Structures are given as structure tokens and as C-alpha cells.
Structure 1
């Protein structure tokens, strides 16, 4: 029987219940994280959990746990569910209280839920993915990994309806990020990615990628870029916990660069795979 964590307790998934006045359910008043699991081990868990707690602080939400305490709990959940390859999803809401837009006057317990999901491991993506561009209609605090994802959902659905893998969002002429990823470009062997700010989520995979650039002599700049610069780039890369480092080779029907994953993308994929194995041990394709 699959187990999940509910407010620190391990219970059967079938026994889990959420109050109808839970603020996450009614308002999206909460934060979440997703951590990848390889070989039954959490990958970059400290970075994810630090970001989770930071997001909670930005909305004045007391999660009631330290990052170290959360890591122990979710690693135990991975072991309990015998997860080898997949993800752990976790979220905190402000809790259940009579419906009111303002924070509850009386102190209430935040609600913590975590569960695992099996995802077969396929190794590096060798074929380029297709994407569309769409206006970024989300709120202005995208640095908070909140439960309010309707803007992202609408963008992703546009991509799906057009047979594409991702929707690349822009505010005016400036590219921000994908609906569920960060977007970077390569021009003349220099990787360029939007700087961390309120308009994007400072992705963990994005941060690992930049560390790999820094330690392996790959030139990069954290600066914004335009739609035109992206369309005329040599390579376009999307990064996320689930997609790792994935090449985008067709955007709005236009071929990017040579139309195949480029050398910088390929190199970063190899380095990222090495980073996974350094943290989690030897990994093999299960697809």
C-alpha cells in the first residue's frame, strides 16, 4: 500500500483527507517543491528544501520544520514506498480556517503533504523538443514556488494543443521562462539565461547547470534576452527537475540553429549526468 506523509505522519494514501476550507484548496495559499529521486536517493534535496522554506517565508507561512527535518522525513518516505526512480512532491498550505481572504486571526496548523511518484529514467534527451511562445500572464512574484499555477497551466495547455512540449513565456519582448521550466540560449558558445528575479523561479536544475558551466570553463551570462535573440540563437535549452537539461530545436515552427541538439547542450547533459551519479550513484535507463 502506497504511503504518504500527512502532517508528519505516514499514512495510507487512501486514508488521506483535506478539509474543504483548507486555504490551499480554496485560495492556492501555499507553496510546494518537487525533488527528483535516482537510485532511491534524493538529488539536490538541500537546495530544494531551502527554496521551499524560503518561498514559505515570503508568504509569511510557518512550515514548522527545518530543512534537515524535512529531508529525513521524505527520504524515509522514499524508502517506505521502495521508490528507485521518480519524484517526491510536497506542499504546505496555511491550513484550514473559515473562508476569508485575510490570514486567519487565530494561529492554525499548516498542512503538510508529501507523496512519491514513479518516473522511469530514460537518460539524456537526444532529440530536440518543440515549443511555442506565449505572453506571460502570471503574477509578478514568480520567484515564489506557490500553488497558484493557473497561468502556467493555461500556457502549457496551449503548447499541448499545438503538439508541442513546452510554452516559452515572454513579457513584451523579453523571454522569462517556460510554463514549467527555465529557458536559456546559446550564442557564439556563450550560454545566456534570465537572471534570478521576481519574474522567474530560480530553478534548481538551472542553478546546477550554471555551476557546471563555471567549473568546466563554459562561458555564461545571467541577463535577459529577447524573442528575436532566442529565435536566432545557436541553441535553446530548457531546464527543470523533471526534464533535466533538454534541447529545444523548433519554436513556433522555426528551426533553431542546425535543428539538432548543439554541442553546449550535449556537453551540459553529460556533465549533469555525472553530477547525478556523483550524488546518487550509477544510474541506468529504465525505459
Structure 2
């Protein structure tokens, strides 16, 4: 993609340079969002921007743009890059200041970076399901902030990659929290069960959409803590994220989930999620074929 946003201006991506004293680079002192784009339109953009502002407020950074200004910038970037199917990544750091652990006292303007990427839908995985491993959740206690500090997530994801798996399901003393880059769900007696949105997980935008379609279609949802033993014993397991959508899990730590095929409730949720995409962004050229 040819163009990027740097500090409120759209410029050629090769010219987008970040100062070595940017606090995002030196401390991970900032937050980010990834927004899915279908048919050239951002999916759930308002929800993503609201979460961005909430994360910024949590670490004391004031967004130097109005929501409308930021939305317009992102739409212009998508148009200039002629993006139809993919993602837009943006991050805001505290800005450029001499290196000091304490926040800078002088008037430092936050730094904004954004760029687009072509990303297809993972249709084969959505159809067949994916394998996962289990790992300890070693992250900090404010996982509700979409922080640039992702070392714990990266270590978990790398462990999954080395095991030939799609995702690592994290837990704290046997209680499932979330994946390294996803929310985790299990289905028991027809109920969708997922961790409550507190400080131990990121409140997923895709998760919110799933809960909304469940409510509209009379699927019972329980947001609560559940254990690894419950997960292994579940009828179905799936994960969700901006890029993975509603992704069936067919194996956890070498143990089959059900008959190792996407289950009926998960398939229904995939169907309803695709309808939600089409309602907001227009007809999909490629859909999951069961």
C-alpha cells in the first residue's frame, strides 16, 4: 500500500518515519486498533474508535483529533490506497520526548501512525476449524487496555506457531482468559460461554457483535470465568477477532473438541456474522461454504 498517515497527514508510506525518541518506540507508551475493511468500508469503525479513546483515557493520553476527523482520515487513506478487502492499523503514542520513565511534563503532542494492508478472509480455516495450545497467561493485569506492550501475547503466539497451531489459549491458574490475539468461547448445553469483559481480557469488538447476534436470535450467553477442564469438556469451542471473525476450534492441546469439526452453533454464528458484515458493508464476494 502506497500511502500512510503520519501525525494527521497522508503521505507516501516510504516517507513515514518515526523519531527514535518516540515513546511508543522506546516504552510501548501508546495504544492501537486494527479495523477490518470489507468492500472498501470499515466494519464497526465507531466501536473501534470508542475503544481507542477508552484505552487512551486509561493511560492519560488525549486524542488530538475529533472522532469525525479521525474517521475521515481513515476513510481517505482507504480510498487513496484503493483497499477493498483488508485491514487498517493505527496507533497513537504519547509522542516524542527525551527518554524518561515518567510522563513528559512539557507540552508533547501524541503521535498518530496508520496504514492499510490487504488481508483476505481465512475461508479454509473458517470452514475446517483450527488447532490450539494452552499456555499460562503471563501478561499484566490491565489487558482491557489495547496497549502497544504485547510481549506476553507475542510469546504465547510464538509458542502456538512452533506447535503448528493457530492460537494459544491463555489461562490464570486454570481459569481461561483469552487467546494471544482473540477472545475464547465454549458451548455447553447450547449456551455460549465466554469470559466476562473485565481487566483480564480485551473487550473484543467482534465479541460484542457476536453477543448482539446471539441476543437477537435467542442464543443464551453467559459471560463468566470458566476452567480449562470445562473447555476440554465443551461441545464446541471457537475464538473471535477482527481478522479471524468467528473461528471454530477443533483441537485444544492435542485433544479433539467434539468430533473435530465445526459444530452447529458455531456454524450458525458464522452465518449470522456474515449477514452482519453484509448489512454494514455490502455483499461479500467470498463466503464460507459448508
Shift of 1:121: 3.1
- For the 8 Å contact 1:185–1:237, the answer to whether it is kept is yes
CA RMSD of aligned residues (A): 1.3
Shift of 1:66: 2.2
Distance in 2 separating the partners of 1:71 and 1:14: 23
Q: Secondary structure at the match of 1:126?
A: helix
Partner of 1:232: 233
Partner of 1:248: 249
Partner of 1:263: 264
Partner of 1:57: 57
Partner of 2:79: 79
Distance in 2 separating the partners of 1:270 and 1:119: 20
Distance in 2 separating the partners of 1:66 and 1:204: 21
Partner of 2:68: 68
- For the 8 Å contact 1:123–1:284, the answer to whether it is kept is no
Shift of 1:67: 2.0
Matched, 1:30 2:30: yes
Partner of 1:164: 165
Shift of 1:91: 0.3
Task: Return closer, same or farther for 1:286/1:197 CA change in 2, 3 Å cut-off.
Answer: closer
Matched, 1:212 2:213: yes
- What CA deviation, in whole Å up to 9, does each residue of 1:128-185 have, x standing for no partner? 1000000000000000000000000000000000000000000001000000000010
- For the 8 Å contact 2:33–2:48, the answer to whether it is kept is yes
Distance in 2 separating the partners of 1:122 and 1:202: 22
Shift of 1:286: 9.3
- What CA deviation, in whole Å up to 9, does each residue of 1:78-126 have, x standing for no partner? 0010000000000000011110000001010110001000012354711
Partner of 1:19: 19
Q: Secondary structure at the match of 2:247?
A: strand
In structure 1, stretches of 5+ residues that fail to align are none
What count of residue pairs does the alignment treat as equivalent?
287
- What CA deviation, in whole Å up to 9, does each residue of 1:4-61 have, x standing for no partner? 1101101001111111111000000000000000000000000000000110000000
Task: Return closer, same or farther for 1:220/1:284 CA change in 2, 3 Å cut-off.
Answer: same
Task: Return closer, same or farther for 1:121/1:286 CA change in 2, 3 Å cut-off.
Answer: farther
- For the 8 Å contact 1:176–1:200, the answer to whether it is kept is yes
- For the 8 Å contact 1:181–1:240, the answer to whether it is kept is yes
Task: Return closer, same or farther for 1:23/1:136 CA change in 2, 3 Å cut-off.
Answer: same
Distance in 2 separating the partners of 1:28 and 1:269: 34
Distance in 2 separating the partners of 1:210 and 1:197: 16
Q: Secondary structure at the match of 2:75?
A: helix
In structure 2, stretches of 5+ residues that fail to align are none
Normalising by structure 2, report the TM-score.
0.97
Q: Secondary structure at the match of 2:128?
A: coil
Shift of 1:257: 1.4
Distance in 2 separating the partners of 1:55 and 1:167: 24
Distance in 2 separating the partners of 1:162 and 1:254: 14
Distance in 1 separating the partners of 2:70 and 2:194: 31
Q: Secondary structure at the match of 1:246?
A: strand
Partner of 1:283: 284
